[in-house]
Amino acid sequence: MPTKKKSAATRRKNTNEPKRNPALRPSLDADASKHARLLNDPCYAPLCHPIYDGADGGILFRAEVDYLLYVTATSTCYTMVWSPGAVGVNAAGTTASNLVMTYADDSFTAVPAYNGNVYQSPGATFLKANSAAATCVAACLEVFWNGTENNRAGIISYGNVPARTSIPGALVSADALSQPCTYAERVPNTKITLKWRPSAGDQITTDPSADTPGTELAKRNAIAYAARGIPIGQTLRVRLVAVYQYEPRIGTGVVHNHARAMSNNTFEQVMNYLDKIGDWTSMAAGIAIRAGAIVAPPVMGAISYGNVRRFAY
């Protein structure tokens, strides 16, 4: 029996039907896509202006620092709370923009004494001397084991936390800081990577040469880690990378530059674009953005990539 041919109208209708549900394909314009890529890869993605509210703009640059954390004869715990958007956290008082604390024991109840070690954020010296206003565009933290493989031991908890979780001079135990952190794993044989997830408050520019008050920190996000059970005498190496947008201070001889992203998207849309695929801030979530496309790697071993949504482009 011959097959009935479809009418021309039916063929045209089928041809024009979308192949995918548009609701599952978040759409960003070119400038917003660049910012999403930079948030996901602060170390190597091309620099771009952020999709922030307002039209201030500025000059872009990427900065990096690498620290071998201070260690004492009895130190077994390390913590860090770093708020890249609050570039002047304690700038006027200690010429530093982030706080690192080490502890002398693994107590789950006591609060070991803060040893007073304060380390600068990447680009902090330059910003304090040359910037009248600055905003962080993207940032990430990498933690490396610095000892021998035979001595590699301990647990590291890490994640994005409110910047008010810890302020310079505050006493907080490694156990307490580990509680709000999203991830926890054994000290890695390669590295732990954690990307900064800016909050709405991180869009606000700040003066890097002035202290950031606690009320301002409450509006911003920080990246943090807490390491416990490190063998006595062993150290951790920390790499911090940040991309900033700044306006030059008067007297530096640099011309003000109000270049900015000319996007029709909003900051919220950029964050929704990333959040629709899961927690992109850590590779523990199995998320990567390559060449502008969102890729979710296959499930391997006992690792679960729950609620990961794949997009085809």
Determine the Cα–Cα distance for residues 191 and 142; give it in Å rounded to an integer: 6
For the entire predicted model, the pTM comes to 0.78
pLDDT given at position 68: 80
The larger pLDDT score, comparing residue 21 to residue 241, is at 241
Give CA angle at 148 (143, 153), nearest 5°: 65
Burial of 147 (0-12, 13-18, 19+ CB in 10 A): middle
pLDDT given at position 103: 42
The larger pLDDT score, comparing residue 3 to residue 312, is at 3
* Residue 157 banded pLDDT, cuts 50, 70, 90: very high
Residue 64 parent element (H or E): strand 59-68
pLDDT given at position 118: 57
pLDDT given at position 93: 47
Tokens in use for 1? 């029996």
Give me the half-sphere count of Cα atoms (radius 13 Å) on the Cβ side of residue 220: 30
pLDDT given at position 285: 46
pLDDT given at position 26: 59
Under DSSP, the state recorded for 189 is S
Question: Per residue in 240-276, pLDDT tens?
Answer: 999 999 999 999 999 988 899 999 999 999 999 999 8
pLDDT given at position 119: 66
Share of the chain above pLDDT 90, in %: 37
Question: Per residue in 30-66, pLDDT tens?
Answer: 999 999 999 999 999 999 999 998 767 899 999 998 8
DSSP per position, 117-163: -EEPPTTHHHHHHHEEEEEEEEEEEEEEE-S-STT---EEEEEEEEG
Q: Where does the chain have alpha helices with state H?
A: 8-16, 30-40, 91-94, 124-130, 174-178, 214-217, 267-275
The larger pLDDT score, comparing residue 69 to residue 18, is at 69
* Residue 167 banded pLDDT, cuts 50, 70, 90: low
Question: Per residue in 195-235, pLDDT tens?
Answer: 999 999 999 998 888 877 778 888 899 888 888 888 887 88
Question: Which residue, chain included where needed, has tokens 């771009």?
Answer: 48
The larger pLDDT score, comparing residue 6 to residue 81, is at 81
Q: What are phi and psi of 93, to 5 degrees?
A: -85, -40
148 pLDDT more than 50: yes
- Kindly state the average pLDDT of the residues 171-180: 81
Q: Which CATH number is 54-260 given?
A: 2.60.120.20
SS3 305: coil
pLDDT given at position 268: 95
Measured on CA atoms in the order 100, 93, 220, 111, is the torsion positive or negative?
positive
149 pLDDT more than 50: yes
Question: Per residue in 290-305, pLDDT tens?
Answer: 434 444 333 223 333 3
Q: Give the start-to-end residue ranges of the domains of the chain.
A: 17-51+263-313, 54-260
Give me the half-sphere count of Cα atoms (radius 13 Å) on the Cβ side of residue 209: 11
